[in-house]
Amino acid sequence: MSDQSPASLSPEDETRLATAKKRAGRSAVIGAIFLMATSAIGPGFITQTATFTAQMGAAFAFAILVSILIDIAVQLNVWRMITSSGKRAGELANSAIPFSGHVIAVLVVIGGLAFNIGNIAGGGLGLNALLGIDPKVGGVLTAGLAIIIFLIKKAGRVMDIVLIVLGIGMIVMTLIVAFVSQPPIGEALRQTFLPDELNFATITTIVGGTVGGYITYSGAHRYLDSGHTGPAHAGPVMRAAANGILVTGIMRYVLFLAILGVVASGVALDLSSQAANPAGQAFGAVLGDAGLRIFGAIFWAAAISSVIGAAYTSATFLSTFTAKLKGGWALQLATVAFIVVSLIVYLSIGTAPAAILVFVGGFNGLILPIGLTVFMYIGWFRRDLLGTKKYPMWLLVAGTLVTLLTWYMGIVSVGPIFAFLGIGA
């Protein structure tokens, strides 16, 4: 580091410093968009989509639509409140209701750990399909690469670049498979709005896998690093959140169409065992061995990007308990430790990866309404924490309706979700 203080910098140095800060801020904004998007398009979502499309056919399109609508209400509110206040979710919640931030932090970290175990498992499945290596070894390699990223000095910049490349790659490869599988687009569009079948447990699981748990806060927490915070930046924040939702929405629907084309052609995906890999079967049915390799690449990209997102966001919630983890090396090392713990648990358990990936989506769907309740309380009654008395009424109404809906879905879905792994009666 230079010994020069900002006051002693030459005009040229000041210009270079300002340019560097602007570039870093722009990188953080783009990184926030793709962190939210790639976190929401993890291996859990891919596995859930294949599983539920095989079970419900085109009717699953309605669940995709609901998840996107919920995503809009949730992310726009969370991004705006967090960035306006300049505080991470746990700290902001504690400012409104004492200890509520600690409760949310504990739930998010537990859910993030469960998700990350599934993400590492997904990385193993992806490399197994792509390269034929043992899934456990693939999981170790996936976690190892994520750890290396966070041990680099400029981990934030590297993370942003990796997530952008992986996100674009996933969309392109999935578009290719969707084009080849020739799905019944007309039927899919009809059932997007008029489904033949409605299943709340399915919707709760897919919502949990795409916007529940840590995913709710991942993009907003990364956006804080851009420095563009405070009520004055509400416009750019809303546009960034909307762009992230657009990316996730496109990927969700394209993936659904790719698998629907396979199911509609008469191919029966094996869902009989928890060790089954329905998404891999679907891609293989379309393009044979090449399809299986493409699936492996998509699944691995989704897995490692979600490992990065889950670990980073969960680690930022630990700052609710100690200010030492607000940034710098302390946060990077906490993120690495989170990945290491997730890897150890993954290697020590015997549950099939696909089963983990479906279950944790439902679990995080149950966490979602708790955090939303606190944030809606802030929006209605504690706007002073947001640095402004003005807040869009339509956002508050939409957020409140979604909060009530997620509570309802969570309550009616507890039994089916936990029955998936034989928990309870």
Residues 305-328 pLDDT 10s? 999 998 999 999 988 888 777 767
DSSP sequence for 304-349:
HHHHHHHHHHHHHHGGGT-GGGSSHHHHHHHHHHHHHHHHHHHHH-
Q: Closest by alpha carbon to 54, among 237, 228, 219, 268?
A: 268
From the number of C-beta atoms within 10 Å of its C-beta (0-12, 13-18, 19+), residue 110 rates as: middle
Residues 89-124 pLDDT 10s? 999 999 999 999 999 999 889 888 888 888 898 899
How do the pLDDT tens digits run along the chain, 425 residues long? 344 444 556 666 556 655 556 665 677 788 888 888 888 888 878 888 888 898 889 999 998 898 888 889 999 999 999 999 999 999 999 999 999 999 999 988 988 888 888 889 889 989 998 999 998 999 999 999 999 999 987 888 888 888 889 988 988 888 998 898 899 999 999 999 998 888 777 777 777 667 777 888 989 998 987 778 899 888 999 999 998 888 888 888 998 999 999 888 888 887 766 556 788 888 888 888 988 899 999 999 999 999 999 899 999 998 888 877 776 788 889 999 999 999 998 888 755 555 665 566 566 667 788 899 999 999 999 999 998 888 999 999 999 999 998 888 777 666 555 555 455 44
- Is 347 within 8 Å of 340 (Cβ atoms)? no
Two tokens, residue 41: 């398009």
Question: Is 23-419 CATH 1.10.10.10?
Answer: no
Element (H, E) at 389: none
Full-model pTM = 0.84
Give the separation between CA 311 and CA 121, rounded to whole angstroms.
14
